[in-house]
Amino acid sequence: MGNTCVYLGPELARYGFGDPHPFGTDRMGAFQQEFERRGLPHHTHILPPVSAPAKLLELFHTPTYVQLLEGKTQTGKGYLDEGDTPAFEGVLEASLNVAGTVCHAADQLMSGACAQAFVPIAGLHHARRTGAAGFCAINDCGIVIEHLKLVHGLKHIAYIDIDAHHGDGVFYAFEDDPSLIFVDFHEDGRFLYPGTGAAVETGKGAATGYKMNIPLPPDADDALFDKRWPAAWDFLNKFDVEFCILQAGADSIAGDPITHLQLSSKTHRMVARALSTLPCQRLLVLGGGGYNRNNLAQAWNDILQVLST
């Protein structure tokens, strides 16, 4: 039994869209099969998903948007945004399983019950306070950041995002908030959704200089990532980080069907290992994107192997 909590259960797998959408409900199973094949259940503490009341969403989202979700969850018809994020029956309940589990994981880390926690179906980093975006019906990253501020009184939360897409829903929601230290590696927005995250975007107002965006060329590999990492690591270490969130999207790995980056899971291992050495000893890893099932299974389990063995 290691010091790493992993959340597993069909309630989490429910967040996903039907065929042929790339964010299918089979992503959880692809991860879990490899998790078991590697014997990682013997090295981690497995916990069931936790649901939350709809009110939890209002830590981040507007009541108007939560009402829209409440309506769409019954019919499952149409889209939650302009055409990227379909509604599905039970979308609210599935989203509440993600948000509730992520906040439970944060509480476990704050209580010292574990030093690292992993939620595979989570890290929905595109949703805005006012609506869905980019396969994300809610923004659990934003919800848990607000939860850590409100319930635990934290003032220096670090969010590191290595998903191929820019974490725009997190970035713009906290652009002027110095309690969020933000580092995002992503495929250059000139080539990939959502088109944002230029290097000049470093935060606003009181949070100027608290955010680092690192756009990568579409063919970026591990060697290029390794060259860019030290600046991000030095930046993070300038702050007295109390809690660290890693959005570990596997769509930055070569062979993803909807992105172009050419990283390998070596980068995911390297980043997870580094973040686990931060003095706060509280690392929350969220699965994020990743649409090649083998890539997500390898990347997420590589991270867990680094953290737990």
State phi, psi for 212 to the nearest 5 degrees: -130, 120
With respect to Zn ion, which residue has the nearer C-beta, 247 or 308? Answer: 247
Listed residue (285, 3, 307) closest to 144, CA to CA: 285
With respect to Zn ion, which residue has the nearer C-beta, 146 or 256? Answer: 256
Q: How far apart are CA 233 and CA 236, in angstroms?
A: 5
| 296 alpha carbon, distance to own chain's centre | 13
Residue type at 243 in one-letter notation: F
- Determine the interface stretch with Zn ion among 65-73, 87-95, 158-166, 222-230 (rule: CB under 5 A): 158-166
Where b means 16+ CB within 10 Å and e means fewer, 197-216 reads beeebebeeebeebbbbbbb
Supply the Cα-derived Rg of the chain in whole angstroms. Answer: 17
Instruction: List the one residue from 34, 81, 161, 163 that touches Zn ion (CB under 5 A).
Output: 163
With respect to Zn ion, which residue has the nearer C-beta, 215 or 249? Answer: 249
Tell me the torsion sign for CA atoms 253, 8, 272, 249. positive
Q: How far apart are CA 243 and CA 160, in angstroms?
A: 11
Size of the site for Zn ion (CB under 5 A): 6
Parallel/antiparallel/unpaired status of strands 4-7 and 45-47: parallel
Instruction: List the one residue from 11, 34, 81, 251 that touches Zn ion (CB under 5 A).
Output: 251
With respect to Zn ion, which residue has the nearer C-beta, 11 or 251? Answer: 251
Residue 161 as a binder of Zn ion (CB under 5 A): the answer is no
CB of 173 to Zn ion, least distance (A): 17
Residue 289 as a binder of Zn ion (CB under 5 A): the answer is yes
CB of 273 to Zn ion, least distance (A): 22
Instruction: List the one residue from 27, 61, 104, 165 that touches Zn ion (CB under 5 A).
Output: 165
Residue 249 as a binder of Zn ion (CB under 5 A): the answer is yes
With respect to Zn ion, which residue has the nearer C-beta, 248 or 307? Answer: 248
CB of 53 to Zn ion, least distance (A): 28
Q: Taking a C-beta distance cutoff of 8 angstroms, is the pair 45, 1 a contact?
A: yes
Q: Taking a C-beta distance cutoff of 8 angstroms, is the pair 184, 228 a contact?
A: no
- Determine the interface stretch with Zn ion among 18-26, 54-62, 110-118, 164-172 (rule: CB under 5 A): 164-172
Where b means 16+ CB within 10 Å and e means fewer, 234-265 reads ebbeeeebbbbbbbbbbbbbeebebbbbbbbb
- Determine the interface stretch with Zn ion among 56-64, 95-103, 212-220, 285-293 (rule: CB under 5 A): 285-293
Residue 140 as a binder of Zn ion (CB under 5 A): the answer is no
Q: How far apart are CA 122 and CA 15, in angstroms?
A: 9
Residue 242 as a binder of Zn ion (CB under 5 A): the answer is no
Query: Which residues ranging from 11 to 50 are in contact with Zn ion (CB under 5 A)?
Result: none
- Determine the interface stretch with Zn ion among 12-20, 136-144, 182-190, 245-253 (rule: CB under 5 A): 245-253
CB of 162 to Zn ion, least distance (A): 10
Binding site for Zn ion (CB under 5 A): 163-165, 249, 251, 289
